[in-house]
Structure 1
Amino acid sequence: MSRPTPVDEDRPTRLVVLAGPTAVGKGTLSAYVRDHFPDVWLSVSATTRSPRPGETEGVHYHFVDEDEFARMERDGELIESAVVHGRNHYGTPRGPVEQALRDQRMALLEIDLQGARQVRASMPEALFVFLAPPSWDELVRRLVGRGTEDEEERTRRLETAKVELAAEDEFDVTIVNDDVRRAAEELVSLMRPQRRMPPNQQQE
């Protein structure tokens, strides 16, 4: 279930920013949206971390080295950038996002909390959605279960997750990721423009 947010009638298609704690399933949810809602445009972040098994360059991330990431920052090619978990750099390329919005596409940006705060500062008109786990225990289970981090990294990520969970009130709406299909459908429903009926069609 989500925390409701006021609906702006006649609002144009706008950027939707999805963030949440580590291991909450942001990537899984985004992948479901990509596979089942082709009318939604998903931003592809740049990162300096190595690909995980099954990740594809240009689909899941743009994998770049430290020097290239620094150049992108220096040249103003990123809307936001951050060091996540004290280790790897992540950032959102500016050009593709701006083009998607010019094309009036439903645009989804999946990023971390630091990045979401930067986007809010520069694009406050975006809709900010917090993806929450059903419970803390379930979040821990998901992080351990995916097996992509060693014990030290898991401990670091869980400490970060506590800080990220405390930031929920900074967002416009919360979606609980208890079922990927349901959460994806709820997310996409928030992205679709809400339109007021013409005056001659409104009920009296």
Structure 2
Amino acid sequence: MKYKKESSKGNLIVLSGPSAVGKGTVLSALLEEYKDIYYSVSATTREARAGEENGVDYFFMSTKKFKSLIKKNEFIEWAKVHNNYYGTPKKYVEETLANGRDVILEIDIQGAKQVKECFEEGIFVFLAPPSLDELESRIYGRGTESKKAIETRLENANQELKQVEEYDYLIINDQVKNAVKKLKAIIIAEKCKV
């Protein structure tokens, strides 16, 4: 009996959810323990937070530079969120997938919608908080934003949580370890798909 050989193209995994749900934390933990996936660093016009590094956490750039890349069609997706631009550089993702390696994107809800339009075969995972109260606590706990910015993020989160049905998978981020375990299981299962 012959079996179909695994696809020579990698899988694109999109991890998204509301602000402060823990996307970055879950992704960092996943990348520590699962080496068969590549992270695509996003570009942004927002200011770097304490401890963030250019080219590692984000490609930090001016609004002018970001807009010039939009005009050149250099992003798979981009969005203006909380008055800042965010986007996924196209070249790295396409080359990595073509070489048979899986790529994971950590992006917002708007960006995930754009990716779905051009990568229907992507695997879309929604990371949700255990509750809105917990999400509010996490946003305030960051201590990185003004009260007005926090209120905007909470309003947006209410709307974003309604988008879960657009995704292939839902993971409740009650504990990072459990969320990582589920995300890893999804990625491995998708590699075994017939």
Displacement, 1:195? 5.4
Q: Say whether 1:80 aligns with 2:80.
A: no
| Identity value in percent | 44
Q: Within 2, Cα distance between the matches of 1:40 and 1:108?
A: 7
Does the CA-based 8 Å contact 1:48-1:69 persist in structure 2?
yes
1:29-70 per-residue CA deviation (whole Å, 9 max, x = no partner) reads 111122222221011000000100111111110001011101
TM normalised by structure 1 equals: 0.88
1:138-170 per-residue CA deviation (whole Å, 9 max, x = no partner) reads 111111111111101100110010110011111
**Partner of residue 52, structure 1:** 49
Q: Pairwise mapping of residues 186-197 of structure 1 onto structure 2 (< 5 A)?
A: 186-192=182-188, 193-194=191-192
Question: How large is the RMSD of aligned CA atoms in angstroms?
Answer: 1.5
**Partner of residue 159, structure 1:** 155
Q: Larger Rg: 1 or 2? A: 1
Displacement, 1:119? 0.5
Q: Within 2, Cα distance between the matches of 1:195 and 1:137?
A: 37
Q: Would the alpha carbon gap of residues 89 and 195 (structure 1) be closer, same or farther in structure 2, given more than 3 Å must change? A: closer
1:89-146 per-residue CA deviation (whole Å, 9 max, x = no partner) reads 0000000101110121121011001000000011111011000101111111111111
Aligned structure 1 segments of 4 or more residues deviating by more than 4 angstroms: none
Q: Within 2, Cα distance between the matches of 1:141 and 1:26?
A: 16
Counterpart of 1:73, as a letter, is I
Q: Structure 1 unaligned runs (5+)?
A: 1-8, 197-204
Counterpart of 1:170, as a letter, is E
TM normalised by structure 2 equals: 0.92
One of 175, 181, 184 as aligned partner of 2:180: 184
Q: Structure 2 unaligned runs (5+)?
A: none
Aligned residues: 187
Counterpart of 2:192, as a letter, is Q
Q: Say whether 1:90 aligns with 2:107.
A: no
One of 65, 68, 76 as aligned partner of 1:68: 65
Q: Secondary structure at the match of 2:25?
A: helix
